[in-house]
């Protein structure tokens, strides 16, 4: 009796194994809140967030009104390297009492409202971290609202700013055609002793006003943050907050305006209330500018706290946000947690459209959905990372005490999954990162803090201080996103809303950057196969095709190559 030995091509075996592993590969990750990161958290609210490498490794930087975070003492600013928190020297301070939001109140407010990282050499100098806020000193030096940190030392940026209720809320690097410069906005009336209403730019030598500045509309007008966007007519600087005019000729800007380097422009009829945040995102129908804040109409039409600008007109988003302690939106950030690209929003709401959503929600272009169990109080800022496995996740700062129903104080992390075309290394175990806690915004800008049942605070502007209890002339209380920005509703008698100022600074930048992730869809079912199995499978198909004469291998290789080209 004879026996036969059948030789099966290695690739075929790999294919079988790969196919068997597809379901597991597609289901082995589910986004969730990292509760360890939020404990012990920070003792007061977190208003601004940014990623930066000071030469010793990339880290997450957080600023706000906290004096301790992750179990360490830190004066209003600290960094997390993925394992532990550390302070930045002496941090910021206001030894003379700081900015007083109410005459004679004696309330010192040396808070950090915006952190803006520059990751490469620019005309203004080497990489560094620019920090703005209500403080007068940094590292013991007089800086008047703005300073730089090079990884070891603090330094002033010219003579800084002046004016009652001095606060720097947004920072951004841009070349308007006359040379690269650092733009700053907030609540100030002068820069280095010269007139500069709410916005100014630093060319490395001196501060100068920008197009006549911004003002009007409120008792305490303020500019909460900025971002760059090309609407098809050329890149321009978009500024938002609580103001009614821009420059000497443009009136009725209604809380948001565009500076092209030469003149100011309106965006339709604007909003009827303070704009706290803005972000650029493509929902699949084309790139557009999204804005959130304390308004209820945009272009004169209903728009509950969030709207979309397509370059010609404003439209509302699925019913907007409502409930909570005002329904306001303080920060917007495009992010892909592995389940698809979406626009995330935080603020003072507990409902998005007709969906219950506790202080955080996401819009996928068609509908709203909740993000886990959310929080028990105001959220100010958002910052996401998808590529770096050490920091992968969506970070949230605020004035909350609980995260997803569990104890979590003022800073949180939504851990996402690798997006399709990114490395699939697993996240390192989070032993106990020691997040931070940050105090609220200035008076009148912070939302009402929920009863402290558990750690957590939730009222402050994201990245910069969105809107609520803020002391920086935002909308009654706002930081802003770096401020990325916070803001308060127009006419707020309290400190202008610290609306996180959403999406202005507080991002990882080269000269201004930030990042959230995205990824192309995988090529058919093969996209679910681990790279190693895929490689073996393709090799196997080639061998199998030669061994059997099957044309299937050719089609498989072609499909994969097309996906790679995408």
Distance CA 70, CA 81 (A): 12
Return phi, psi of residue 468, to 5°.
-60, -140
- Residue 23 is predicted with a pLDDT of 35
Specify the pLDDT at position 418.
Answer: 83
Q: Is the dihedral of CA 180, 138, 210, 226 positive or negative?
A: positive
pLDDT at 501: 62
> What's the pTM value of the predicted model, to 2 decimals?
0.75
Q: Rounded CA gap, 401 and 464, in Å?
A: 19
What are the structural domain ranges in the chain?
10-25+521-565, 31-501
Give counts: helices (H), strands (E), the chain: 3, 48
- Determine phi and psi for 554, rounding to 5 degrees: -65, -45
3-state helix, strand, coil in the chain (%, to 5): 10, 35, 55
**Three-class HEC string of 368-415:** EEECCCCECCCEEEEEEECCCCCCCEEEEEECECEECCEECCCEEEEE
Angle 210-212-217 from CA coordinates, rounded to 5°? 115
The domain 31-501 is placed in CATH, from the list 3.30.70.1230, 2.130.10.10, 3.60.150.10, 3.20.20.120, at: 2.130.10.10
pLDDT along the chain (566 residues), means of 10: 42 38 51 95 97 97 97 97 97 72 52 96 95 95 97 97 89 95 96 96 97 84 97 97 90 93 96 97 97 97 98 97 96 96 98 98 98 97 95 97 97 89 46 33 39 36 41 39 33 41 49 36 32 37 35 30 29
Nearest to 560 by CA among 550, 20, 540, 548: 540
Report d(CA 427, CA 552) in Å as an integer. Answer: 36
CB 353 within 8 A of CB 320: yes
């Amino acid at each position: 009796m004879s026996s036969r030995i059948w030789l099966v091509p290695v690739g075929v075996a790999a294919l079988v194994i790969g196919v068997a592993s597809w379901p597991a590969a597609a289901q082995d990750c589910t986004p969730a809140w990292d509760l360890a990161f939020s404990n012990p958290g920070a003792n007061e609210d977190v208003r601004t967030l940014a990623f930066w490498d000071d030469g010793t490794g990339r880290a997450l930087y957080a600023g706000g009104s906290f004096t301790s975070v992750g179990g360490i003492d830190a004066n209003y600013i600290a960094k997390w390297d993925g394992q532990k928190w550390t302070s930045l020297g002496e941090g910021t301070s206001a030894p003379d009492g700081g900015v007083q939001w109410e005459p004679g109140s004696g309330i010192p407010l040396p808070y950090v409202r915006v952190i803006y990282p520059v990751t490469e050499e620019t005309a203004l100098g080497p990489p560094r971290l620019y920090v703005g806020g209500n403080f007068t000193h940094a590292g013991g030096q007089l800086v008047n609202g703005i300073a730089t940190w090079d990884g070891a030392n603090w330094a002033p940026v010219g003579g800084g700013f002046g004016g009652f209720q001095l606060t720097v809320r947004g920072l951004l690097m841009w070349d308007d055609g006359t040379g690269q410069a650092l733009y700053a906005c907030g609540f100030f009336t002068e820069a280095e002793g010269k007139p500069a209403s709410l916005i100014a730019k630093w060319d490395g030598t001196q501060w100068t006003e920008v197009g006549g500045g911004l003002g009007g509309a409120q008792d305490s007008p303020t500019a909460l943050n900025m971002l760059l966007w090309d609407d098809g007519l050329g890149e321009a600087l978009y500024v938002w907050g609580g103001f009614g005019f821009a420059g000497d000729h443009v009136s009725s800007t209604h809380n948001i305006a565009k500076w092209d380097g030469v003149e100011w422009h309106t965006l339709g009829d604007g909003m009827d209330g303070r704009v706290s945040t803005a972000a650029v995102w493509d929902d699949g129908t084309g790139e557009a500018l999204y804005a959130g804040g304390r308004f209820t109409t945009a272009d004169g039409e209903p728009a509950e706290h969030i709207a979309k600008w397509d370059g010609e007109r404003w439209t509302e988003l699925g019913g907007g946000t409502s409930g909570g302690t005002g329904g306001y939106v303080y920060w917007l950030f495009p992010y892909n947690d592995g389940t698809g690209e979406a626009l995330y929003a935080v603020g003072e709401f507990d409902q998005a459209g007709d969906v219950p959503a506790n202080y955080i929600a996401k819009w996928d272009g068609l509908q709203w959905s909740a993000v886990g169990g959310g929080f028990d109080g105001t959220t100010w800022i958002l910052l996401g990372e998808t590529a770096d496995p050490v920091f992968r996740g969506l970070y949230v700062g605020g004035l909350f005490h609980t995260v997803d129903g569990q104890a979590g104080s003022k800073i949180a992390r939504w851990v996402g999954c690798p997006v399709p075309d990114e490395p699939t290394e697993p996240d390192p175990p989070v032993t106990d990162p020691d997040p931070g806690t940050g105090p609220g915004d200035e008076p009148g800008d912070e939302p009402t803090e929920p009863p402290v049942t558990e750690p957590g605070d939730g009222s402050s502007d994201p990245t910069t201080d969105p809107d609520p209890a803020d002391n920086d002339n935002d909308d009654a209380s706002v930081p802003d996103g770096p401020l990325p920005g916070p803001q308060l509703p127009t006419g707020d008698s309290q400190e202008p809303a610290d609306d996180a100022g959403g999406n202005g600074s507080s991002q990882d930048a080269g000269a201004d950057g930030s990042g959230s992730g995205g990824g192309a869809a995988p090529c058919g079912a093969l996209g679910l196969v681990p790279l190693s199995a895929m490689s073996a499978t393709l090799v196997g198909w080639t061998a199998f095709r030669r061994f059997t004469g099957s044309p299937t291998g050719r089609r498989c290789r072609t499909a994969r190559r097309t996906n790679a080209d995408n």
